[in-house]
Amino acid sequence: NAGVTQTPKFQVLKTGQSMTLQCAQDMNHNSMYWYRQDPGMGLRLIYYSASEGTTDKGEVPNGYNVSRLNKREFSLRLESAAPSQTSVYFCASSEEQGEWSPLHFGNGTRLTVT
Amino acid sequence: AQSVAQPEDQVNVAEGNPLTVKCTYSVSGNPYLFWYVQYPNRGLQFLLKYITGDNLVKGSYGFEAEFNKSQTSFHLKKPSALVSDSALYFCAVRDRRTGRRALTFGSGTRLQVQP
């Protein structure tokens, strides 16, 4: 019963490098999300995908791109990493039906940009 | 716009005592409200939600929350705290009127339960 799986768990990048954070869910959920968590700021939404083939910007999309590869997978790409992107990144998913559907989170990717 | 405030960075309580973690929200319409808990090095886990109806909502692990529309609050409560309840707690809101799918989270409150 995997739920939401994120890879990698940890990553260190140099400024300017690129990388893709992977996320997959096995709950047949339609909606998927990327959040970042910073101390004292809670979780802030980067991008979300209400269904396969659609993506929308959240509160803090600058410096990121996303791809909803299929219903299961939603990846987050940093094209040119900056120290301000040092954070813990969480992927989440939810059922489409009902805006009250709770989110199911992965265990996060801890990213450090030097 | 939708927003959430958790006024306390940390709440300390002795084991066996009741606990309250505070949350206030702001939305233009009516809210869907949620509480999540985060243990170290883990993602957030859903605790409970308010959709409509009874203002007192019961959730996982003995937690409950009280919705107060006039005070725009949704405080998390538990009658008797356990050491294992020590974690980071997040309140979240979604505005029904805008239909915006994504949740807005508060900054989190760290709960420390002393033995």
| Cβ distance of A100 and B49 shorter than 8 Å | yes
Burial category of B5 from C-beta neighbours within 10 Å (exposed 0-12, middle 13-18, buried 19 and up): middle
User: What pLDDT shows up at residue B101?
Assistant: 64
Distance CA A98, CA A42 (A): 24
User: Per DSSP, what are the bridge partners of residue A56?
Assistant: A48
Q: Given this model, what pLDDT does residue B41 score?
A: 85
Secondary structure element (H or E) that encloses residue A13, with its range: strand A10-13
Residue A92: pLDDT band with limits 50, 70, 90: very high
pLDDT reported for residue B2 = 85
pLDDT of residue A69: 87
Q: Kindly determine whether residue A100 and residue B32, on different chains, have CB atoms separated by under 8 Å.
A: yes
Answer whether residue B92 shows pLDDT above 80. yes
Mean pLDDT of chain A: 92
Residues 6+ apart with CB under 8 A from B48: B34, B35, B57, B58, B59, B60, B63, B64, B65
The band of A98, judged by pLDDT with boundaries at 50, 70 and 90, is low
Which of B99, B103, B108 lies at the smallest CB-CB distance from A103?
Answer: B103
Strands B10-14 and B109-114: parallel
CA distances B112 to A19, A110, B12, Å, are 36, 24, 5
Per-residue pLDDT band at B28 (split at 50, 70, 90): confident
Q: Tell me: pLDDT of A100 over 80.
A: no
Q: Is some CB atom of chain B closer than 8 A to the CB atom of A5? A: no
Please tell me the predicted confidence (pLDDT) of residue A50. Answer: 86
Kindly write down the DSSP assignment for every residue of chain B, as one continuous string. Answer: --EEE---SEEEEETTS-EEE--EEE-SSPEEEEEEEE-TTS-EEEEEEE-SS-SEEE-GGG-EEEEETTTTEEEEEESS--GGG-EEEEEEEEETTTT--S-EE---EEEEEE-
Give the phi and the psi of residue A83 in degrees, each rounded to 5. Answer: -55, -30
What CA–CA distance (Å, rounded) separates B24 from A86?
A: 29
The CA-based diameter of chain B, rounded to the nearest angstrom, is: 44
DSSP A73: B
**Model confidence over A69-78: pLDDT tens digits?**
899 999 999 9
The reply to whether residue A33 touches residue B41, judged by beta carbons under 8 angstroms, is: no
State the pLDDT at residue A25.
Answer: 96
Indicate yes or no: CB of A99 within 8 angstroms of CB of B94: yes
Considering only residues B74 and B2, tell me which one the structure prediction assigns the higher pLDDT.
B74
Mean pLDDT value across chain B: 92
- Cβ within 8 Å of A, B 63-102: 90, 94, 96, 99, 101-102
Span of A15-19, A26-30, B70-74, B97-101 with lowest mean pLDDT: B97-101
Return the structure tokens found at A104.
Answer: 């199911």
Task: Indicate if the pLDDT at residue B46 is higher than 60.
Answer: yes
pLDDT of residue B97: 72
| Beta pairing class for A19-25 and A64-68 | unpaired
Q: Which of A45, A102, A108 sits opposite B102 (nearest CB)?
A: A45
What are the CA-CA distances from residue A71 to residues A55, A56, B51 (Å)? 12, 15, 27
Q: Judged by CB atoms within 8 Å, which residues 8-47 of B form the interface with A? A: 9, 32, 34, 36, 41-46
pLDDT in tens, A30-64: 899 999 999 888 899 999 998 888 999 998 999 99
Q: State residue B61's pLDDT score.
A: 92
- pLDDT for position B52: 85
Q: Does A41 touch chain B (CB under 8 A)?
A: yes
A88 touches chain B (CB under 8 A): no
Q: Would the CB atoms of B46 and A102 count as touching at under 8 Å?
A: yes
